Amino acid sequence: MFFILTAVILFLRLSLAFFPSSERRFLHNGKVGKVATADFWFPNEQVPSVRVGREFSFGDDSADAVKQAADDVLDPTYVHLSPAITILTRDSNSHAYIVNVTISDEEYSLILDTGSAFPWVYGDSCSLRACEGRKLYPTGGKQTVNGSTFRLDYPYGITSGAIFQDSFIINNLNTSETFAFGVATSVPQMFENYPVSGILGLPANSPGTVEPALSVLYRSKSIRSQKFTLYLDHIESENTTLNANSGLFAIGEPITELYKGDIYYSELVVNPNNYWLIAIDRIFCNSTLVTFQNPENFTGAQSRSKRSGIIDSGSTFLVLPKVDALDIHSYLPGSITDGNYFAVFCNSTVDLTFELGNKNWTIPASSYLGEPYQEGSKYYGYCVSNIEGQAIHSSWILGDVFIKNFYTVFDMDNQQVGFALKNSNVNLVQNSNISTNTLEATPLSSTTISSSHSTSKSEGTFPLKLHNYLYYLVIYFSLWL
């Protein structure tokens, strides 16, 4: 008699917040340059009724912005591209932020996605069009993690494959520890339009099977804290290569040169999907408070003004439940919709303000105004709205339209997200001694972190009505012969 123990089979299934840009966002019109596909739903255009609500004064909240404008006429602040900091680039359609990572001595371009649970790359057995011409991970001779497989449910399809383990270098931070990541054999068709080899998922917590990259670096003492920051905007540089950047991704403490004033934090709302989810206390269109048709359960009470939002670098726009999107556009005069997508007058001057904790954060009209309709279209004078209504039934997704306006801190240690005004008067400089040695992730040796940063906590928790789910199925099978 002998004992044979088969490998542990672990199946991980996740639903993810990932809404990249779509070319089907124009309202139906045969004269429009980009014609929507046949499977698109085109009811008659609806004109949301204009809403009039309570008006509020924001007091001196604009003072920081005034100071920012004054500072921008001064000499620029120089930021050195040192270890733990890397530049971001964008695809040709400016739909996604891309970062390069090294896996087993090979470099892969991945979409930086704070709405995905873990990293995954295309495997060499993937024969789909999305994998054609891309760097593929060679699985020959490599071992899976206890036979683990995964399935990720994206809004437009499914990614599935096995979980492998290998060396992984992010932002020039090396460690002797190996990282677990997904190797996909099947990916959605939507990835055909992206010049990448997968996703760099950066969750707020561990999904269980795959330890977050920051946690691996922290456990191996390669970094001092489990934090990273995003500056999603072009930074000028005299270096031609660096000047092609679309922003910075830094692991470690906030870089004081990249923001003005204080950082204000919002506590994460506990959720089963490990999202960077925060409470939105109120939303304003200019100074008018937005009220919603559908109430949400907020700290045990029904509210028509409070919502929650996922801070998601992998999504391009603001993605809302359909009814909420209709409500928001009802405060934008003249808006029209076909049910999912909206058009707004291109000369709109209505700003959107989000109250997070005790701080207001404003995104200008220019952020939610997308591509204009062509001359000759019956919608000429309108722009595509970057606020979308989708078949989601819970939290809003605050994508690039929101994040790009601020300097954003993702703090795993303290389970919070922080925002500050960006310093737009910055110049990027190459550091000559970058290497892939194990280094502390203090982004700049010359940077000091202010201890006077304000902390603005969101009150209470937001009970979720997430239709998403996460479950693990572990099967141990023993055979005695």
pLDDT, tens only, 330-343 = 999 999 998 778 99
pLDDT(117) > 80: yes
270 in the same domain as 247? no
The answer to whether residues 245 and 264 belong to one domain is no
289 and 247 belong to one structural domain = no
Q: Tell me the residue ranges of DSSP E strands in 167-311.
A: 168-170, 179-186, 198-201, 227-231, 247-251, 259-267, 277-280, 282-285, 288-289, 296-298, 301-303, 307-311
Identify whether residues 277 and 208 lie together within a single domain.
no
Please provide the average confidence, as pLDDT, over all residues in the chain. Answer: 80
* Mean pLDDT across 94-101: 90
**Gyration radius of the chain over CA positions:** 23
Q: Does residue 13 form part of some domain? A: no
Q: Is residue 120 part of a domain?
A: yes
31: in domain: no
d(CA 41, CA 339): 8
> Is the residue at 440 inside a domain?
no
pLDDT digits (tens, 9 = 90+) for 146-185: 899 999 988 778 999 999 999 999 999 988 899 999 999 9
Q: How many residues does the chain have?
A: 481
Q: Which of 254, 279, 304 is the last residue of a domain?
A: 254
Provide φ and ψ at 80, rounded to 5°: -90, 135
Least confident of 30-34, 94-98, 237-241, 252-256: 30-34
Active site residue 105: no
User: Are 311 and 396 contained in the same domain?
Assistant: yes
Whether residue 299 lies inside any domain: the answer is yes
Looking at the structure, tell me whether residues 286 and 399 fall in a common domain: yes
pLDDT of res. 283: 98
List all residues 6 or more positions away from 89 whose beta carbon is below 8 Å from its beta carbon: 97, 98, 244, 245, 246
Answer whether residue 479 shows pLDDT above 60: no
- Average pLDDT of 114-129? 95
Q: In sequence order, which residues have a C-beta less than 8 Å from that of residue 240 and are 6 or more positions away? A: none
Q: Are residues 150 and 268 in the same domain?
A: no
- Respond yes or no: is residue 312 known to be catalytic: yes
Residue 455 to residues 204, 218, 327, 356, Cα–Cα distance (Å): 19, 24, 31, 11
Pair (250, 270) in one structural domain: no
> Confidence band (pLDDT; 50, 70, 90) for 12?
very low
Q: Domain ends where: 412, 427, 442?
A: 427
Q: Are residues 165 and 264 in the same domain?
A: no
Q: Are the C-beta atoms of residues 179 and 220 closer than 8 Å to each other? A: no
- The answer as to whether 466 is a domain residue is no
Are residues 264 and 383 both part of a single domain? yes
Mean pLDDT within 208-220: 92
pLDDT band (50, 70, 90) for residue 274: very high
Q: Does the pTM exceed 0.85?
A: no
Percentage of residues in the chain having pLDDT higher than 90: 63
Q: Does residue 11 have a pLDDT over 70?
A: no
The first and second tokens of residue 219, run together, are: 């456990």
Q: What is the pLDDT of residue 40?
A: 27
Helix, strand, or coil (residue 198): strand
Residue 45 lies in a domain: no
User: CA-CA distances (angstroms) from residue 83 to 45, 80, 311?
Assistant: 52, 9, 25
Active site residue: 91, 113, 281, 400, which one?
113
- 38 confidence band (pLDDT: 50, 70, 90): very low
User: Is the pLDDT at 194 greater than 60, yes or no?
Assistant: yes
Q: pLDDT tens digit string along 237-271?
A: 999 999 999 999 999 999 999 999 999 999 999 99
Task: Tell whether 233 and 346 lie within a shared domain.
Answer: no
- Residue 22 is assigned to a structural domain of this protein: no
> What is the spatial distance between Cα 16 and Cα 150, in angstroms, rounded to a whole number?
13
Q: Are residues 246 and 366 in the same domain?
A: no
* pLDDT tier at 464, thresholds 50, 70, 90: very low
Task: Answer whether 370's CB lies under 8 Å from 345's CB.
Answer: no
Q: Which range of residues forms the domain containing residue 418?
A: 259-427
pLDDT tens across 338-372, in order?
877 899 999 999 999 999 988 999 999 999 999 99
Q: Which of 195, 227, 254 is the last residue of a domain?
A: 254
Q: In the chain, how long is the greatest CA-to-CA distance?
A: 82
- pLDDT over 70 (residue 61): no
Give SS3 for 400. Answer: helix
3-class secondary-structure state, position 120: strand
**Is pLDDT above 70 for 43?**
no
Q: For the chain, what is the domain count?
A: 2
- We report the CATH number of the domain holding residue 236 as 2.40.70.10
Kindly name the residue from 312, 324, 338, 411 that is annotated as catalytic. Answer: 312
